[in-house]
Structure 1
Amino acid sequence: MRIYWIVLALLFPLLSRAQAIQSCDPSPESLVDNRSVAQLRELIQTKNFKGLEDALEDRLKRYEAGQYSDLALFLLIDGAVSSADASFDPILKQWIAERPRHLMARIVRANYHIGVAYKKRGSAVANQTSSEQFAAMGAEFAKAFTDLKVALEIRPNSPLAIAGLIQIARATGGRPAALGWIEEAERRDPANLSARWVAIKALDQRWGGHPEDIDFLVERAMKAPLAPARRRALQWKAEMTQGDYFYSMSKENTKAIVHYRKAASLCASSDALWKLSSAAYDLENWAVVIDSVSEFLVLKPDAQRAYARRGWAKESLNRLPDAIPDYEKAAALGDDWAQNKLGYLLMTGNGVNKDIPRARKLFEAAAAQGNQHAPANLASIR
């Protein structure tokens, strides 16, 4: 009986955390249904407009019945057309010509033009972007705006249409326009998820927003008629957005860690845990690296680089014996860095018994994958 209580005490924190992170809707681990995205793309490519309408209208009806989120529908459409495949342009034009007042046809084509707009603009900062690029982006946004305007005439409370307008506002009207549209979305559909999701990105500091804007948006969402799991998903998105800004843009890793850790506490998220470990890695905070990678591996048990990263963190804390099993696992899964590292340990006998034949095989495997250090190590034992 005493052993039972000891085991329960050890497991309780893990069970409590598992319960806390299993209830986000949508889950960060399945934001995009890749199979459905591929099916939608195939329907477009084959000009199966009836199939397209049936697939999207079915999801729209499920959304109206509270069985499917508008965000899932938005991400499905965005995933299918945001690649800006040029072959889609005449096909979507034909669909609109045949069905000019079809809501989903307008939404799909608007998202396509938004994707094309951002592609034509490029990813460089504003002062490194030409006036021609901005003009090309504006032309595509104008096409998208026309479709979104019609979509709102068809369905005035469509969060998908307003989400598209917020995407445009992010690059054109900036913070005031984004704030205006999210307030409009909240008024028209208080339970919307997609417009809020897109607004969080639009209010990111890299686009001229302020952290207070995102905090205020999330605070209002907490009072909206949203299921708790959907509120947590929005909180997760907000924490990830702010963490990404501090990690990638301002290079303030300590602040990034705070946001990534909060995101990881809200939803089961390999993305949050990996980025948490990356920020901690840059700060050489090896204890946080080990903890976050360990949690990451619960979600992604075959992630070869994760074992390598955790092994290096352990070795950096003078725990080489603990690191070697991680190096072994990473090498077995095919990580070239770990193969070279383990080969070096076997070649030198550092922490393990010398095994030159096995070291040679590991160096060969790493070299075959392009590891830049493996050829020199291989040459040293020939």
Structure 2
Amino acid sequence: MLYLLAEQLGFPGILNLIRYLSFRTGGAIATALFIGLIIGPRFIGWLRVRQGKGQPIRTDGPQTHLAKRGTPTMGGLMILTAVSLSLLLWMDIRNMYVWACLFVTLGFGAIGFLDDYDKVRKASHKGVSGRTRLAAEFLIAGIASWMILSQSGTHLYVPFLNYPPLDLGWFYIAFAAFTIVAFGNAVNLTDGLDGLATFPVIIASLAFLLIAYLVGNAKYAGYLGIPHIPGAGDLTILCGAIIGGGLAFLWFNAPPAAVFMGDTGSLALGGALGAIAVTAHHEIVLGIIGGLFVVEALSVIIQVFFYKRTGRRVFKMAPIHHHFEQMGWSEPTVVIRFWIISIVLALAGLSTLKLR
């Protein structure tokens, strides 16, 4: 919004700074952080009054989690408010890529909100049925993928390999939609301990902030041998807003958490990262940078698969962060060690930009 206004005025004086992506990205980080910190206390108080007993806690989970009863959920609404307002303020409102990613973010957030609301209303950890959720997620992801790929093309780029990209044609829409849905749910599964999902999302957003900037710049993209997607550079503003909103939420979610993100936030943020990766044509790199989320999701798939067929569990409990808790690791130990892993994976993912 500010960009269009400054453009209409001819970028006079200090408004010339708005011309630069780096300035608007920094502005998005600061704005989202400020909004989140300002609305946080009242928002949490409102959730506590509205929800009463807060998010239901699984009785079959680690017993230490029972102390968290009464903590309100749906804190993702706070993140989405900060991210959306900041993004609308600093983005170029004519950029279709940003609108497509925002559509996924808010759409997945709405699905997560309905799931959280159902859990709180029924006082049960079971919310909306899995089939209904997945159908709605694939519908949103499919529409967004069509919006993105109709402009950016349907070529699949594979890291570490220096050869012409594969043209998947319109099959790419199915692949892109799967990427968005899978990553949204992977982040959702990771959100089981205070701060566990939030900081790795921030780290992944930092990595994709750099990737989006490079992909959107013809000179850097050509030098690195990565796809050049004109207009994708504006996704740095979305990444910045997620970083700012995530930091604000982490302020209140730090142990002991005053509020939980809930599916409202985790689905939305995971879907946003998936949509950003699709736009930048770095879906495979997302699997590396977000490897922590991938492992969390795989641990659940493996556990369910083997238990249904053999009656035995591969892990003491899934997702895998609960496995380590059952082994005797304290919650802060699991969280901080997983944070370190997310940083290492992000660096590994960024290394693919030049290792070809």
RCO comparison, higher one (Cα < 8 Å, 6+): 2
TM-score (norm 1): 0.27
TM-score (norm 2): 0.29
Determine which structure has more spread, i.e. the larger CA radius of gyration: 1
